[in-house]
Structure 1
Amino acid sequence: MATFTVVIPFYQREAGILRRALASVFGQSFQDFDVLVVDDASPLPAEEELEPLDARTRSRITVIKQANGGPGGARNTGLDNVPTETQFVAFLDSDDIWLPDHLKNAQDCMTRFRGDCYWASMQASDEFYYHFGMAELEARAGGTRLSDEPLIIEVPDLASVMLKNWSFLHLSCMVLARSLFETIRFDAALRLAAEDVLFFCDCILASRRNLLCDEAGAARGIGLNIFHSIDSQSPQFLQQQFNTWEALDRLETRFSRRPKDVASITKYKNTARQQALWSQAGRVRQRSAPDVRLLARWAWRDPAILRTLVQLGAGKLGRGCHSQGEPK
């Protein structure tokens, strides 16, 4: 019986990325775990990555192959195949690595304080500057300090805090108890945006106790990440913004009785609309056709985007069609 099952969704083209992630797993100071690697129709098969590993290490890893379903779908497959004896599930993205005491801190914290949901901090880096740790969260949002070494806090109404800025949460730093991983799943259709935020929200709301550890649990690695190549000029950008709007729309139903939270979500939804429309205007300026089909689908689901279009158009005309201050 393993205390942890480690779930790693895998889709990469470069050799060595999965082995680097696995080296950080097998380098943990707490060694009672098994590993599920979900090969999401990866261009570089997971089995090729595992060939150089010794037999003892390889025996602790199960590879599950599936048709490409995106990272959320791969994580769901992992969750559906967790052994019945497992106490906790820990996620690790294949292009990230764990720091040596991540599982040890998670096991100690969740056992001692009877937590259902746990996050460590993401290690600070210049490239991913927007991440911030739990000590900074405590300074911003307050909370109850449960431990000083390592720093463990609880934050009241964590879901509302998360809606304002969720950059202190990362999947590679997340651990779930059985009460959550048996029932909660990712919305795999939101594969370009916000599926992790929706999952975070559902876990927080269902958890009896959410525990936040300031000790860094993971570091961002470098590999194929579907978000890194998407900017406002990318063909996938409109789909990403639509998926973001859909995720926010679903979040809004979860917070329907909390007007302040709904107001925060409404602002994010309007930002998604504006960014989507400006991206399509940019395509027109570059003599490329906008994605009319997706825009029509969006308008059918969300008539407010038409009002946003009128507002943006009126604002542009008011400033002059070629204003250098036009948003991008």
Structure 2
Amino acid sequence: MAKLTVIIPYYQKEPGILRRALASVFAQTFQDFHILVIDDCSPYPIDEELEPLSEQERARLTVISQPNKGPGGARNTGLDHVPDDSEFVAFLDSDDEWTPDHLKNAYGSMSRFGADCYWASITGGEAFYYHFDVAELTESHSVIRLQEAPLVVEIPDLINVMLRNWSFLHLSCMVIGRSLFETVRFDAALRLAAEDVLFFCDCILAAKRVVLCDEAGAERGEGINIFHSIDNDSPQFLQQQFNTFVALETLEGRFSRKPTAIASIRSYQHTARRQALWSQARRLKRRKSPQFRLLARWVLRDPRLLQSALALAVGKFSRAH
């Protein structure tokens, strides 16, 4: 087969997006790969996306169709079907595009430095303002510079750096080795948020060595696919924040004896609560009922949500007077 397996989950609402992602894969300067596309019961049919492929390209691609399981479940199916002779797995969201040297940089860096986990930087438009590249980490954190062109670094305290702000990590820039893709899986229950963060954390904890490359590995598609098309006013936004909170609870269990990590996680939990409550306040402002059922589930799991709601109400009342 091939040294590297590419996993692309597919669940799309408009034509041409997967076609564009696949074009960026076939344009790679590193060509020793095979592609697994997981059709997660997409509402837009995959056959039309694959129609422009040449016979040679189609032979390098396998489609696995399944009932809808969400992005984590789709990626898990891909991981379960990686051929025995693949050395590495690279992920690509179907609405993102790789830069031409992404796989070359990943394979070269991981082989040279004995790494089983790799991230490159990512680029994107204005909607992607919160992400930052690997070079910025070198300005504020202790790093080991392994290579200068392209810049490849190792961060000794990567797990704590990641827990403070994981906005330099993205799945479409991630490549993992066999020791990880055979054992680590996504939490498929977290359909709308944070399944990637848990996966990042588990891979970092399990990896023998993680390296990061500053050269951009992908350009983000700014949420064109259905997995990431939720904004602050979407009905699914509260569920997204709840899923984020659940993932953060799981992370908290991973680091029960590490106060610095717990502090970072609890800060993110506080943000998730506030985001959730602001979304419900906006619903009231638009004369829509709050999502009481999900709010009740959240309160049963996390009574602090009520404290946050009270603080938000008091703050709003104080500003009004």
Instruction: Compute the TM-score of the two structures, normalised by the length of structure 1.
Output: 0.94
Of 54-63 and 266-275, the range deviating more from structure 2: 266-275
Question: What residue identity is the alignment partner of 1:50?
Answer: L
SS in structure 2 opposite 1:293?
helix
Contact 1:284 1:290 in 2 (8 A): yes
Residue aligning to 2:7: 7
* C-alpha distance in 2 between matches for 1:174 and 1:156: 18
Question: What residue identity is the alignment partner of 2:175?
Answer: V
Residue aligning to 1:213: 213
* C-alpha distance in 2 between matches for 1:137 and 1:35: 32
SS in structure 1 opposite 2:227?
coil
* C-alpha distance in 2 between matches for 1:38 and 1:165: 30
* C-alpha distance in 1 between matches for 2:125 and 2:58: 32
The 5 A counterparts of 1:169-318 are: 169-221=169-221, 223-231=224-232, 233-318=233-318
State the shift of 1:287 in Å. 2.1
Residue aligning to 2:27: 27
Deviations 1:156-188 (A, max 9, x none): 121110111111111000000000011111111
Deviations 1:282-313 (A, max 9, x none): 22232211111111111111112122222223
Of 282-291 and 2-11, the range deviating more from structure 2: 282-291
The 5 A counterparts of 1:30-109 are: 30-109=30-109
SS in structure 1 opposite 2:21?
helix
Residue aligning to 1:111: 111
SS in structure 1 opposite 2:175?
strand
SS in structure 1 opposite 2:130?
coil
State the shift of 1:124 in Å. 5.2
Of 233-242 and 89-98, the range deviating more from structure 2: 233-242
* C-alpha distance in 2 between matches for 1:215 and 1:315: 44
Q: Which runs of 5+ in 2 are unaligned?
A: none
* C-alpha distance in 2 between matches for 1:61 and 1:124: 27
* C-alpha distance in 2 between matches for 1:308 and 1:29: 51
Of 277-286 and 160-169, the range deviating more from structure 2: 277-286
Contact 1:237 1:279 in 2 (8 A): yes
Deviations 1:20-67 (A, max 9, x none): 111111111111110000011111222221122111110110000111
SS in structure 1 opposite 2:211?
strand
CA pair 270-131 structure 1, distance change in 2 beyond 3 A = closer
Question: What residue identity is the alignment partner of 2:20?
Answer: R
Question: What residue identity is the alignment partner of 1:62?
Answer: T
The 5 A counterparts of 1:153-164 are: 153-164=153-164
State the shift of 1:128 in Å. 1.9
SS in structure 1 opposite 2:79?
helix
Question: What residue identity is the alignment partner of 2:195?
Answer: E
C-alpha RMSD over aligned residues: 1.5
SS in structure 2 opposite 1:226?
helix
* C-alpha distance in 1 between matches for 2:31 and 2:294: 48
Of 10-19 and 103-112, the range deviating more from structure 2: 10-19
CA pair 287-124 structure 1, distance change in 2 beyond 3 A = closer
Residue aligning to 2:131: 131
SS in structure 1 opposite 2:274?
helix
In the alignment, structure 1 residue 146 sits paired with structure 2 residue 151: no
Give me the identity figure in percent: 63
Question: What residue identity is the alignment partner of 1:44?
Answer: Y
Of 100-109 and 300-309, the range deviating more from structure 2: 300-309
Question: What residue identity is the alignment partner of 1:221?
Answer: G
Deviations 1:236-277 (A, max 9, x none): 111111111111111111111110111111111112112212
What number of residue pairs does the alignment pair up?
320
Residue aligning to 1:326: none
* C-alpha distance in 2 between matches for 1:48 and 1:129: 33
* C-alpha distance in 1 between matches for 2:166 and 2:115: 20
Question: What residue identity is the alignment partner of 2:37?
Answer: V
SS in structure 2 opposite 1:109?
helix
